[in-house]
Structure 1
Amino acid sequence: MTQSDRRPRRRRPTMKDVAEHAQVSLSTVSYVLNDSGPVAPERRNRVLDAVQVLEYSPNESARSLKRRGAATIGMIVPDLTNQFFAMVTEGVQRAASARDVLVVLVVPDASELPEEKQAQLLRSQRIDGVIYLSGTGSMPAAIYELARSGPVVLVDEQIPGLDLPAVVCEARRGAREVSAHVMEQGHRRVAVIGGPPSLWTAQQRLAGYREAFAGAGIDPDSVPVLPGDYRQASGRELAERALAAEPRPTALICMNDLMAIGAMEYCRDAGLRIPQDVSVVGFDDLPVSALLTPRLTTVRQPAHDMGFRAAAALFDLLENDESGAIGELPAVVQVRDSVGPPRSDR
């Protein structure tokens, strides 16, 4: 055995190493390496310098996956009519394309098969790993079996009792900050149009709202919470119920943009002006939210990056049997036109 044979083998650099060295996002690295998206020249040069310094081979990860027979991953997403879910899925697809890996997309809402049957179908296709965006807050038994035999990464949700890597955003902080913005405008009579209580996202956002209420001297238990299902029709229906109360709330805090859009639709049809008669906020920052009249104040989640990082974590598990530490991605309040001071005559 030579001296070089006894030398410990250096860990192969990953795309995440390149991103950290260049101080850019994983998606930016992918754009540069695959020439698949616009990147400012200064950032592009930082990525290329990092590739050279780290001696990173862009195709090494794909070759490693193929050596282990990994050519296909599955993604389960509840509903692609929700733009946020579609953007997460696009992030997954971009990361997979960078490694020549096929994504099998499963959308339970678009099929007659329930989520459990869809998961069984994935298992029969010999999927190498799964990215799971839960619509229920629980994990079907078939996906649990997949997790026992291969890697599963959660995105936008955490499931209590399951020690699985998850890519999420700072939902609680974002919810607290957007609610604080509403309180700072002088609102004290508010109602929450919530999400499904079983979902981690809904629980985190509600906790953030309650913290903001308490910080403004409002008893959180006095604020009505009307659970919805994250769909536009739900927002419309619940806005009608919330605004029928006497005295009428001056602000509606909606747990996602689709329900906020539904709430705004009801207000328009009911002759209520936004924000003069009622303020409305959302969560997600869908592309359409900045195009509404008035433009929607909301919380931006980095949907594309969440999907990209979930896929990167899955590939780490396939290559190295471990995923790097996955922290919460930032949630940023987008202050626009749908929030204003409450009218003094109400």
Structure 2
Amino acid sequence: MERLLVKGTIKLADVAKAAGVSQGTASNVFSRPDVVREEVREHVLKTARQLGYAGPSLTGRLLRAGKVNAIGVAAVEPLAYFFDDPWARALLAAVAQVCDASGTGLALVSAKDRQKLDWNIKSALVDGFILLCVEGGEKLVQLTRERQLPFIALALNDDDPSVASIGVDNVAGAATAATHLAELGHRRFAVLATEFSYDHVGPVGLGEIERAVYSTSRDRATGYWQALETFGIRRQDVPIYETDNHKTSVETGLEYLFSAPEPPTALLAMSDHIALLAMNWLQARGLSVPRDVSIIGFDGVPEGGMVEPGLTTMAQPFDQIAQRAVRAVLDDAMPIEREMIDVTLIVRGSTAAPKL
């Protein structure tokens, strides 16, 4: 087939001119082919192939329409975070189900590097964002505000009332977790915490927790304290080890806690991921869960029900959170103030009365 020579990028106007038709007719060939006579349509398509024109830009068409029917899910993490972290994976799966039901597209927007994250958010072809604010929430909020698209923040780690957000009741959930273990008869507790501040792992004192940067961790510690104090257990008698929610820091924390003269019989883990890592560490050292140590997590990820024994946890309603977040973005139904959702105690085999 002879190829026509046209300098530069081929545009629809070039096709129309070469085919001897109006630009409106050429546009209809690609967007509304049923309104164009067959012989004209075939002539225009043949001309387009000769020029090397593949068709109008889908991106441009969507932008002109004002809606792309897609949501971006953003995090200050590498893309692998969405698949490696149990909480992010469970939440993303729930959001995907909601989007599937409505025929809405889903884009993952992520980067650890500020400059790359800035570009990824600015260039994402979406109608709005769901922000996973476990870490770097203020950075996500700032960049997304600059994009001037609707967004909803999940697990926001500060109390900024100007940010539309959905969160779980961390204080009440943590109090329920501690009460469950105390009612079983436990009196020697320890906490494996998520981060309270930037780039720190290790034992933390009461003052450091009260000054915490991350409100999620602070609120869960507060809930534990409030519940345990009703059983006569002072907060200063409950050691708390701050982890970064990864294996190395969790195992270092367990070595610290279980080197004490009277190690804990009950562990309060601020995430299911931490709890599952702790179960593996204890069992590898010949300690039985729950006969020697009871463990309760926080999140309700599916993996907690797949291990042996099953993990007792405070479960977040991922389906409810996903439904609410997607509706906030697509239906302009943003909460006026921070919307709180209750968590539910799920009792499995990782908790029991302490051995005598």
Q: So what's the TM-score if we normalise by structure 1?
A: 0.71
Partner Cα distance (1:215, 1:201) in 2: 22
- Matched with 1:253 is 268
> Does the 8 Å CA contact 2:265/2:294 hold for their aligned counterparts?
yes
What is the CA distance between 1:325 and its match in structure 2? Answer: 6.7
Structure 1: unaligned runs, 5 residues or longer: 1-64
Mapping for residues 316-327 of structure 1, pairs under 5 Å:
316-317=331-332, 322-323=334-335, 327=339
1:280 is paired with a residue whose SS is: strand
- Matched with 1:5 is none
- Matched with 2:150 is 151
What is the CA distance between 1:283 and its match in structure 2? Answer: 1.0
Say if 1:331 and 1:115 are closer, same or farther in 2 by CA, change over 3 A.
farther
- The question of 1:123 aligning with 2:138 is answered no
> Does the 8 Å CA contact 2:190/2:239 hold for their aligned counterparts?
yes
> Does the 8 Å CA contact 1:233/1:262 hold for their aligned counterparts?
no
> Does the 8 Å CA contact 2:161/2:338 hold for their aligned counterparts?
no
Say if 1:311 and 1:251 are closer, same or farther in 2 by CA, change over 3 A.
same
1:249-279 alpha-carbon deviations (Å, 9 max, x no partner) = 1111111111111111111121111122111
- Matched with 1:188 is 187
- Matched with 1:22 is none
Partner Cα distance (2:107, 2:291) in 1: 47
- Matched with 1:104 is 107
> Does the 8 Å CA contact 2:168/2:340 hold for their aligned counterparts?
yes
State the percentage of identical aligned residues.
26
- The question of 1:342 aligning with 2:339 is answered no
- The question of 1:217 aligning with 2:239 is answered no
- Matched with 1:114 is 113
1:135 is paired with a residue whose SS is: coil
- Worse-superposed segment, 167-176 or 124-133: 124-133
Say if 1:164 and 1:252 are closer, same or farther in 2 by CA, change over 3 A.
same
Say if 1:116 and 1:91 are closer, same or farther in 2 by CA, change over 3 A.
farther
Match of 2:342 among 325, 330, 344: 330
Partner Cα distance (2:349, 2:97) in 1: 33
Partner Cα distance (1:303, 1:91) in 2: 6
Partner Cα distance (1:302, 1:215) in 2: 28
Mapping for residues 1-346 of structure 1, pairs under 5 Å:
68-77=66-75, 78=77, 79-80=81-82, 81-108=84-111, 113-125=112-124, 127-140=126-139, 143-148=141-146, 149-161=148-160, 163-197=162-196, 198-317=213-332, 322-323=334-335, 327-344=339-356
What is the CA distance between 1:224 and its match in structure 2? Answer: 0.8
What is the CA distance between 1:122 and its match in structure 2? Answer: 1.7
> Does the 8 Å CA contact 2:265/2:292 hold for their aligned counterparts?
yes
Partner Cα distance (2:167, 2:350) in 1: 26
What is the CA distance between 1:126 and its match in structure 2? Answer: 5.1
- Worse-superposed segment, 308-317 or 258-267: 308-317
> Does the 8 Å CA contact 2:192/2:241 hold for their aligned counterparts?
yes
1:293 is paired with a residue whose SS is: coil
Superposed CA RMSD in Å reads 2.5
Say if 1:295 and 1:71 are closer, same or farther in 2 by CA, change over 3 A.
closer
What is the CA distance between 1:125 and its match in structure 2? Answer: 3.4
Partner Cα distance (2:64, 2:217) in 1: 38
Partner Cα distance (1:288, 1:92) in 2: 18
Say if 1:182 and 1:91 are closer, same or farther in 2 by CA, change over 3 A.
same
Partner Cα distance (1:86, 1:308) in 2: 16
1:312-338 alpha-carbon deviations (Å, 9 max, x no partner) = 111232xx7x54676322211111221
What is the CA distance between 1:206 and its match in structure 2? Answer: 1.2
Partner Cα distance (1:181, 1:156) in 2: 24
Partner Cα distance (2:64, 2:103) in 1: 9
> Does the 8 Å CA contact 2:272/2:301 hold for their aligned counterparts?
yes
What is the CA distance between 1:242 and its match in structure 2? Answer: 0.9
- Matched with 1:10 is none
- Worse-superposed segment, 297-306 or 85-94: 85-94
1:146-202 alpha-carbon deviations (Å, 9 max, x no partner) = 225222210122433351111112222111111111111221111100001133321
Partner Cα distance (1:160, 1:170) in 2: 13
Partner Cα distance (1:121, 1:99) in 2: 25
- Worse-superposed segment, 145-154 or 266-275: 145-154
- Worse-superposed segment, 196-205 or 255-264: 196-205
1:70-106 alpha-carbon deviations (Å, 9 max, x no partner) = 4333211342212221121122223334444322202
1:221 is paired with a residue whose SS is: helix
> Does the 8 Å CA contact 1:298/1:335 hold for their aligned counterparts?
yes
